[in-house]
Structure 1
Amino acid sequence: MSDSAKLILDGNLQVFFYDHLQEFNTRSLSPLSTETIFYSSLVMDRFGNSEKFFDQVNGRAREKILGIKLMESSQFPRELQKNALKEIAEMSLLLCGYFYDSLNKKIIDVKYYEDVGKIAYTKLNSFCPSAYDVPSFYKRMASNFSDVTMLMSLVSKKYSKETDPALPWLILRDRQVS
């Protein structure tokens, strides 16, 4: 059976994503922290259910408009604002990472979603100045946003039907993969 035809039989999607993110992270010239990889795998697991990726409007699924949600979040009470910022940041991370190629078909490019995600993580840091026993964790997520999305994109490409799994991976900045 070819690698692309194999089923993923891991009972825990978060562990599956963690293992693959960590695999690419170890090949990086500037590896990310274990906490960052762990958190990123949780994000990927959380949005493994596509229902969390869409809003329901009049009984129909509609893409979440993250820029508008970011602006609206500033009007929310503190706890709701914190939750909204986390969701916006995480969705931006996943869009720019795992679903990077799908953004090529959109009018708004990856840079927009990257900026929205970084802003949301920076604002979230003021609500949660520490996470996973790491000071300024979400501020670090904002500064490592591009590196995290690169790893997510590599995991996505690894399981894409178009990608030859036998190809060697060299991890560089700016989405250059060879």
Structure 2
Amino acid sequence: MEKVNEVFFSEKGLTSTSASHLADLAQKTVLGNEAKLKNMSFITTKVDIVGSLSESGKTVSLGYDEKGLSEVKGLLEEIAEMNAFCAWMREAIKAKEREIQQINRCSFDEWCQLFGYPVIEKTELPKEIRAEDLIAEMNVKERNRYFTLEAIAATIGKYIHPGGKFSDAREELLTKTMKPYTADGIERIP
């Protein structure tokens, strides 16, 4: 494990999904607080109809009073705390991803050494058998038979699989068997 990533790992912790979810919740708190601060104004605006006897008018927007101003500091502090929390969670997720990538790049022998397991002596694995290799070993008669059978299978498949003529005719028969008459009274099966 890289030294820079060690701070994010312990015996107990969160999954990447949980960390991401918590960061998303914190981001919603930030957006809510930013919305409150976005409409900050120190001016209260009132309107009234010309000639109206009312002197108070209708309030269009409220300016921040002392109570509103006292909330600004708390909103800013909470935004800063939530942003710091989000940064921590996102960095932890990135650290986990980097460690997983590093493990995935390890060979089996490196992994054994890294975790203190004895390295097993290598054995020769059997060669992968491919269709091309089998075909290459066939004589002319066998290869001709292979391609003939392949062509027959493809031709039959074309007609019996969905969308093929045989398949469509079968569906039509099943439909007419299950619904021998139409709504207009015409018989479908002779």
TM-score scaled by length of structure 1: 0.26
* Greater RCO, 1 or 2 (C-alpha within 8 Å, sep 6+): 1
